[in-house]
Structure 1
Amino acid sequence: MIRRFLNYLSVCLAPFLVAALGLAATIRSDKVGPKDRCPVCGMFVAKYPDFAAQVKFHDGQVFHFDGAKDMFMFYFNVARYAPGLHASDVSAVYVTNYYELNLIDGKKALYVAGSDVYGPMGRELIPFANRSEAEDFLKDHEGKHLFRFQDVTPAVLSLLER
């Protein structure tokens, strides 16, 4: 009797457990609204969903960007673009995975610089969720460098501007 009840309970609860585990793995990003502007360049972000990025802060504020390059420019100088906030206040960074066009954790992403693919603001850091896709892209699109999040510096961004 107890065994039947446990079997019944496991069958009933299984879909809920799977859903809960699936939701835990889903990136909880904020939708870009039609009036959301990139704080770095002023462009409307919704026009460029294939390159969109966002930074979330512990206090709930969210900033949207038209590309990873502008997101990094913001990240390196938060005080300029969001007075009163600091990079240490960031709770999450999301970028759009180039091939899949889904948002991924920007701090775990790999970035290709110097490719023949341009974003809305010109030369761009192109994000990828995994190394094999990033390396394939690097070869196929004449990329020059592959960076991890922590290896991108203001000097790297300066190279993109040349």
Structure 2
Amino acid sequence: MCQSPDHRADRRRLLATLSSAALVAGVGLAPRSVRAAAAPMDLPPPGPRDTCPVCGMFVAKYPEWVATVLWDDGEAVHFDGAKDFFKYLDDLEKYAPGRSRDQIAGMGVTEYYGLALVAAQDALYAIGSDVLGPMGHELVPLMTEADATDYMRDHRGERLVTFGDVTGEMLTGLDAGRFE
């Protein structure tokens, strides 16, 4: 259900082209509002044998979708997309028995356009678009409001949500192709 292997390179080329065109036109690509961009995160990358604790997929096969939770004891848990990342957080008792959210040292998601790991709490998430992740309909992380506006227009997104807006019901809906 993932896009072609070349879509990562296509995203980078598109971003470079847009940046060059903006410079030629004398226009900056600054965010359109005062909302801060999601901060870059420096978290350990997944290894070739790391699997998503929610679905069991090998995470490193999908670098453009990686999400990570870093626990305060140094353990890093990786996911093949933001949807499974949120499912994990929504049910720590099931996926990380004995752990609690106050033990989390960092959380990052891979943002769509620049493919950088950014703070999960600060990202915006598009749902209901024409972009599918490794597990189908996905919460697509976006770094800035400008990115979100462009993404929603270009990929026919149904809805934008913040970290705090994500619910278990929303995640179940994504699995069923519902985007309310």
**Equivalent residues of 2:40, 2:117 under 8 A apart:** no
Q: Report deviation, 1:27.
A: 2.4
- 2:16 pairs with 1:31: no
Return the match for 2:152 from 128, 135, 138. 138
Provide TM-score, normalisation by structure 2: 0.74
Distance 1:128 1:109 in 2: 6
Match of 2:80 in 1: 66
Q: Which one-letter code corresponds to 1:39 in the other structure?
A: P
Write 1 or 2 for the structure with the bigger share of strand.
1
- 2:62 pairs with 1:48: yes
Instruction: Give the root-mean-square deviation of aligned CA atoms.
Output: 1.2
Match of 1:111 in 2: 125
Write 1 or 2 for the structure with the bigger share of helix.
1
**Equivalent residues of 1:117, 1:141 under 8 A apart:** yes
- 2:104 pairs with 1:90: yes
Q: Report deviation, 1:60.
A: 1.6
% identical equivalent positions? 46
Distance 2:40 2:84 in 1: 24
Q: Report deviation, 1:26.
A: 5.8
Unaligned runs of 5+ in 2: 1-38
Max radius of gyration: which structure?
A: 1
4+ residue stretches of structure 1 with deviation over 3 A? Answer: none
**Equivalent residues of 1:76, 1:87 under 8 A apart:** no
- 2:91 pairs with 1:77: yes
Distance 1:81 1:74 in 2: 6
Moved more, 81-90 or 105-114: 81-90
Unaligned runs of 5+ in 1: 1-24
Provide TM-score, normalisation by structure 1: 0.82
